């Protein structure tokens, strides 16, 4: 069973009624059993991998925490802590290697040696293994660094790892934020329920009406990129940026919505990333919890932007950024396309950082120059405040829009490598878009077949173009409601939320694709 199955929402609402009507002390057991059944319905026997990881890290976490209060000498205690930590690290990474990276290793080893020494594995990739492995590793690292307490109750810890709304594709939660919510006694809250139901329905809309529909064109074009012109490849790449955002953020919306109906608040994973004015800002808005994980558990531990003596270093920081993005690309998949995608973002990030340093030095030299300093004083004086002028405001807005557009284009270029079936296809698409003959465009004829598959009737497109912006606007308003909600009676919002929910569900029923695909990030 998945969130997008027709009977999921009805099944969940029945479960919700049971959940809030059983005694509080049994709720964790009920939620844990439900989480395991949910995972088993999707991953089958792979549930034993999840159980194995849970048991190992529960034991390691508890033992590491007990060492903090032991009376052994420091060296003995530290050695045992190191061994336990390495046990968890080795076990988790070994599971990832065996199930996700083994065949990738065999391919590259065979290529370098020009012989096939190792057999291929027929093991399937367990759903969500990258997500729950990172969540479990983060828990162990925090305990090892004495930044968190170990959870003594096995049921609570197992639920933290396997909590079904975010088990398969995140958000990747920290134990300090998640576990207290799992052990807290909560009662049914109608406001939370309505907010969660609306958030779930909008995520479902983004997945079934937008992501899966544009995926039709993307899949047709990217399956045989040599059959299409550079312009059609640009269109398909642009549509993929919409697909992956609506697919992944749609899942997170559904996960957050389900959790909220249960009285649990998950971390926001997206903040309108395509409106970022820089690559740095993009990574503060896109897959926020993964970025946080790499920053806390990789970037800072390997030195961040400081030398070994503690002095700040731009080049050390950039080197570590390349390491982080290499691992980030590899985390997404066992394919060089993902690695190149990560390296492209590292390149963008580096250029952006270097340009920022150059800009700062130029500004400092201008301030240091006596003549230019006088001009700047006049410029900043109350008699010549250009910053308050209409021209300055409009120019600032224009420059911001240019930055957003450039960032979006750079992100789309990287998506080529992320989406392509292999590296040769990615290079072919990149070369055709940027270096082929652009004199003739036959995109109108090329679009006919994909659009016929994308829209069942001629009315679908205009109606969707009307429903989509209205839905986005209403959702934005609802997000802002919480900022002013305290000034109003919460009951006043119920009719509005209910109406929006019914509109979204009706739109899904009418415009969803006949064949839906699983979430993109399930493969990671």
Query: How far, in Å, are 4, 46, 214, 428 from residue 460 at the CA level?
Result: 21, 40, 13, 33
Contact assessment for residue 334 and residue 98, using Cβ atoms and an 8 Å cutoff: no
Name 427's Cβ contacts closer than 8 Å, sequence gap at least 6. none
Q: Where are the alpha helices (DSSP H) in 306-335?
A: 314-332
Name 398's Cβ contacts closer than 8 Å, sequence gap at least 6. none
User: What tokens does 507 get?
Assistant: 């739109």
Number of neighbours of residue 188 by Cβ within 10 angstroms: 14
- Options 5, 71, 287, 332, the catalytic residue: 332
- How far is C-alpha 295 from the chain's CA centre? 14
User: What tokens does 168 get?
Assistant: 């398969």
Residue 71 designated active-site: no
Burial 479-494 (b: 16+ CB within 10 A, else e): eeeeeeeeeeeeeebe
Q: Single out the residue of 288, 193, 312, 208 nearest to residue 251, CA to CA.
A: 208
Per DSSP, 312 falls in state: B
Q: Where are the alpha helices (DSSP H) in 420-440?
A: 423-435
- Residues β-bridged to residue 312: 306
Name 522's Cβ contacts closer than 8 Å, sequence gap at least 6. 127, 128, 168, 169
- How far is C-alpha 208 from the chain's CA centre? 18
Q: What torsion, rounded to 10 degrees, do the Cα atoms 512, 516, 520, 523 define?
A: 160
3 state SS of 29? helix
Question: Given the structure tokens 């201008």, which residue do they identify?
Answer: 366
Give the sign of the dihedral formed by CA 482, CA 488, CA 494, CA 499.
negative
Q: Please confirm whether the linkage preceding 171 is cis (ω < 30° from 0).
A: yes
Q: Which residues are marked as active site? A: 332
């Amino acid at each position: 069973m998945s969130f997008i199955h027709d009977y999921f929402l009805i099944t969940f609402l029945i479960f919700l009624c049971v959940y809030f009507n059983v005694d509080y002390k049994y709720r964790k057991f009920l939620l844990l059993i439900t989480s395991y059944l949910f995972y088993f319905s999707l991953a089958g026997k792979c549930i034993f991998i999840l159980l194995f990881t849970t048991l190992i890290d529960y034991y390691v976490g508890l033992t590491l925490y007990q060492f903090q209060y032991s009376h052994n000498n420091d060296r003995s205690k530290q050695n045992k802590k190191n061994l336990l930590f390495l046990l968890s690290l080795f076990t988790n990474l070994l599971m990832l290697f065996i199930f996700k990276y083994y065949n990738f290793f065999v391919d590259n080893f065979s290529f370098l040696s020009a012989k096939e020494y190792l057999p291929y594995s027929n093991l399937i990739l367990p759903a969500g293994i990258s997500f729950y492995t990172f969540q479990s590793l983060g828990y162990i690292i925090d305990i090892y660094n004495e930044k968190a307490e170990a959870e003594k109750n096995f049921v609570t810890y197992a639920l933290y790892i396997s909590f079904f709304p975010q088990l398969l594709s995140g958000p990747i939660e920290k134990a300090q934020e998640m576990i207290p919510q799992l052990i807290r006694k909560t009662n049914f809250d109608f406001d939370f329920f309505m907010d969660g139901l609306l958030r779930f329905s909008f995520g479902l809309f983004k997945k079934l009406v937008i992501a899966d529909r544009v995926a039709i064109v993307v899949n047709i074009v990217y399956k045989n990129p040599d059959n299409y012109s550079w312009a059609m490849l640009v269109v398909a790449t642009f549509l993929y940026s919409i697909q992956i955002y609506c697919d992944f953020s749609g899942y997170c919306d559904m996960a957050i919505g389900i959790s909220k109906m249960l009285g649990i608040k998950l971390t926001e994973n997206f903040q309108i990333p395509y409106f970022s004015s820089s690559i740095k800002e993009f990574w503060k808005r896109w897959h926020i919890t993964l970025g946080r994980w790499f920053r806390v558990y990789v970037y800072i531990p390997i030195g961040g932007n400081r030398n070994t003596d503690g002095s700040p270093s731009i080049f050390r920081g950039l080197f570590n950024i390349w390491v982080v993005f290499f691992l980030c690309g590899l985390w997404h998949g066992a394919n060089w396309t993902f690695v190149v995608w990560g390296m492209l973002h590292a390149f963008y990030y580096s250029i952006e950082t270097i340009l920022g340093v150059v800009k700062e030095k130029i500004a400092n030299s201008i301030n240091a120059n006596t003549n230019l300093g006088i001009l700047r004083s006049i410029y900043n004086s109350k008699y010549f405040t250009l910053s308050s002028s209409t021209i300055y405001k409009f120019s600032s807005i224009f420059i911001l829009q240019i930055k957003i557009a450039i960032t979006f284009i750079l992100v789309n270029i990287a998506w080529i490598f992320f989406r392509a079936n292999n590296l040769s296809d990615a290079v072919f698409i990149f070369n055709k878009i940027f270096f082929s003959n652009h004199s003739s465009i036959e995109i109108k004829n090329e679009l006919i077949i994909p659009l016929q598959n994308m829209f069942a009737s001629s009315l679908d497109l205009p109606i969707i173009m009307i429903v989509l912006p209205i839905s986005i606007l209403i959702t934005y308003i609802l997000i802002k409601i919480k900022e002013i909600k305290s000034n109003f009676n919460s009951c006043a919002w119920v009719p509005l939320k209910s109406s929006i929910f019914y509109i979204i569900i009706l739109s899904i029923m009418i415009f969803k694709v006949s064949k839906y695909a699983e979430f993109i990030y399930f493969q990671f």
